Every structure is written in C-alpha cells, then in structure tokens.
Amino acid sequence: MYSRNAVILVALSGLLSIAPALAEKRKPVLDSTLLEKRDFREPTSILKNKELAEALAVDRQVRKLFFDQDKLKRIWLQNRDAMLKATAQAKSTTVLKPIINFYLSKLGTSHCLFTTDEDESFYYLESLFDSLQQKGNQKEYGLPGFVTGGAGFPEKTVRYVLAGSAADKAGIEVGDEITSVNGKTEYTYKDCLAAAGTELTITYKRQGLDKTARLKPKQIDHFKAYLQAMEDSLKTITREVEIGGKKREVTLTYIHMYSGGPQVRETLESLLNDRGASDALILDLRDGYGGASLTDIDCLFRNPANYPVFEQRAASGAKYVQNLCFTRPVVALINSGSRSGKELLAYTLKKTGRATLVGECTAGYVVAGCFQKIDQHCALYIACADCTIDGKRLEGVGVEPDIKILNESRDAKGYQNQLEVAIKEALRLVAKSETVDKSTGAGSQ
C-alpha cells in the first residue's frame, strides 16, 4: 500500500536537490514489498530532546523510503548512531539541520534534504506536494520573489528572481549579495515571510556598491507564485534580420518555466496560443524547481494535422482562436540549476532535435523524491525511487547543452549573456527554416 503522506514528486528542484516525473499521470511507484527487509530497529537508546526526536523521525523515514538498499546498509545504517549522538547535542532545529544534511549527503544521491521553515524550499515543496495531492489547503505567505544560494552560488547571493515578483519590481538581480533584511544581517527566508503585509527593506551589494531596495511581498501560495511568474515572464523579443536578401522583423516569444507541476502544460499552451504570430520560442528552463512531466511540452511535438485550429466568434464579433500546436523553431536555456523533471524535458528536446540547448550542463539530479513533514517546522525530502529515461540514467550525469555558455561571473550580466546567445541561435533557426521553406516548398518544424 502507498503511504498517504509520501507522494512521489514528479520532478522537483531546490537549493540542494530535487526530483523528476515518473509517469504522465504522476502516480506513486513506491511498493510495500520494498519495505519488507528494511531495518526498523531503533538505535542505541539516547536521552531524547525535541531535536533528537526530529532526527529519529528522519532516520525512520530514510530507512523506510530510501530506494538504494545497498547504500542504506553500507552508509546510512553504519552512520546513524553517530548522527543521532551528534543531534542529541543540538539545541535548535537551526543547529540540527546541517548535521542531518551532512549525513544525508553521505548517501551520494540527489533529492536527500532536511529542510526547515527557515528555507524557501520548505514552503515550495509543501505547496507543490499539496497541489499534486489536490489537497486544496493552500497557504499564502508574503513572498519576496528572490532565492539565494545553491548551484554554485554563495549562500546569500541571489541565484534567480521570479518574474513579476516584488523583488523583480524592486530591481533585485541575479548576483546581488543580500546583506540584510529589515536590518538583520543574520537573516533567513523566514524573516522575509515574517514581514507579510508590510514593506521589506533589503540591503545588498552589486559589483562592490551598496544598494537598498524596498518591496512589499505579495500574499500568495508558493506553487501559485511560481506558476504566476511563468505567466509574467512572457515577453516578445523583436530583431531585424536579413533573410533571403531582404530585411524583416523577426518576433521571438520568451517564456521562463520556473517549475513543473499541475497546470504548467495548460499555462504553456495558453501563453503560446496568445503569441500565434511568433517566429520562434525561447523556453527558459534555468533554475527554480523541477516537478515537470514530459507531457508539459506536448504542444511542441504535436502534428498540426491532428490538432486543427479551432475558432469561435460571438454575437458581439469577439473572436477566440485556439491553436494547440507550436511548430516553429525552439531554443531552450539550461544551467546547473535546471534539475529533475526539467532535465527530462531538456533530454527529450535534445534527443529529438526539437530544440537547441544553450547554456550549461544540467544538475544531474534525476531520481524521484518523497516529501515527508516531520512537524510544523521541518520536513524530509528523500530519494525514494531510481529513474531512467530512454534506458539511460541521468543521475550524476545531467544533460549537456548544444551551445555551451557559462555564467562564470554568476551575475545578471552572465545570465543575460546566455539569453543573448539563445536569441542569436533562434534567429539563425528562423532564417534557416525560411530558406528551407522557399527552396523545397516544405514546412519546417
């Protein structure tokens, strides 16, 4: 039987490790037979405190759910007494977190993370899993819209900013070093949420200069915020290009898919439908989380013959056109923050030749994860199933880009440079497709 509290993540991505889509319908794959030979004996008795109780709960879930029984026996069971003795000395969950994550890291597998209510990942993972389970108990927080650390970025350095968020509107950028939140230099993500309904004062450094931003976070559920950011990222990029000896304006559509999960496919289709005249798509898969299913990008592969354009006209004369196919060229942006389910999308786009991948190798975080709340203040995200795609295992390997462009400066300039290269490649593909059309009379995908 499946555990009611253990949902298999269909491909997430967080600050340290996150998961992929196991099946189109996002069904769990954990089977009770996997648990029959697990060691559920409690370790040597130690005087319990709150932190040790949390560590014991983590230990039980790791023994119950971690998919690799060999590593479980060789590594986890050999180290858990040492972990529990160390955690018995912890006086707070803040002190407990690095201890547990140190021992989880020994498993050498992604999607193994102890997260607390001081972390952005705690709120996002809870929100995503609630959405996957269709619980409907959305929890709204004053979301600032910037995420720091992870994927090689220092702990307090901004790795990405959600489009349309309070941070985006306040001008905070990738690479900014956050030095204080409302005057606190030793701050956590929880401090940002605590200011819900009021103005946040953020001080930060950019290229050695001290700056200040004031922003009022929007009250919103975290998964909804990522979905909204995808919608807000939509923009049209125009460039004048010479094609066949004549200059014309080429229109590109840009969409940043910050995560997978429910409604992402419908959102992508809707956004592309609104940009029916676009010559090409730039699909940004950098950073954010995974949670993606291969069906999320169905509209990029559909045969127009099977999905004819549908049009409605009202008595008022208003017209609605539905086009569920996007057959024009695609360029996808990837980096080391592209994880889990989004790595599956990148792999598929590259293997089929449907898109050119631009940027950096993806994270290689491609196993499935279960999210288990320990209590109201902490949770365990644990790798509970191995994954392959096309018979290949991407865990620890990732997906290489077709055009490698590193963001070595780890700032907004390097981030934008990757986009500029993607734009250049999209224009090349548009020119190439139109040349093919004219010379052969054939349509291009």
pTM: 0.88
Write down the pLDDT at residue 375. 94
Q: Is the pLDDT of residue 1 over 90?
A: no
Judge whether 418 lies within some domain: yes
Angle at 363 between CA 64 and CA 429, to 5 degrees: 140
Domain that holds residue 207: 140-220
Judge whether 348 lies within some domain: yes
**297: exposed, middle or buried (Cβ count in 10 Å: 0-12, 13-18, 19+):** buried
Judge whether 269 lies within some domain: yes
Last-in-domain residue among 220, 243, 278: 220
Judge whether 99 lies within some domain: no
Write down the pLDDT at residue 25. 38
Per-residue pLDDT of 384-415, as tens digits, reads 999 999 999 999 999 999 999 999 999 999 99
Neighbours of 90 (CB within 10 A): 20
Per-residue pLDDT of 85-95, as tens digits, reads 999 999 999 99
Give phi and psi for 308, each to the nearest 5. Answer: -60, 150
Please report which confidence band the pLDDT of residue 2 belongs to, taking 50, 70 and 90 as the band edges: very low
CATH number at residue 314: 3.90.226.10
Q: Among candidates 415, 371, 296, 376, which has minimal Cα distance to 18?
A: 371
238, 279: one domain: yes
216, 233: one domain: no
Judge whether 374 lies within some domain: no
235, 200: one domain: no
Per-residue pLDDT of 292-301, as tens digits, reads 999 999 999 9
Q: How many domains does the chain contain in total? A: 2
Last-in-domain residue among 220, 237, 252: 220
Write down the pLDDT at residue 42. 55
Cα 33 to Cα 38: distance, rounded to the nearest angstrom: 10
Q: Is the pLDDT of residue 166 over 70?
A: yes
Per-residue pLDDT of 15-33, as tens digits, reads 333 333 333 333 444 444 4
CATH number at residue 155: 2.30.42.10
* SS3 state at 338: coil
Judge whether 180 lies within some domain: yes
270, 410: one domain: yes
Judge whether 35 lies within some domain: no
DSSP assignment of 128-151: HHHHHTT-----EEEE--EEEEET
Q: Supply the DSSP symbol for 191.
A: H
330, 243: one domain: yes
- Considering only residues 122 and 437, tell me which one the structure prediction assigns the higher pLDDT: 122
Mean pLDDT rounded to a whole number for the chain: 88
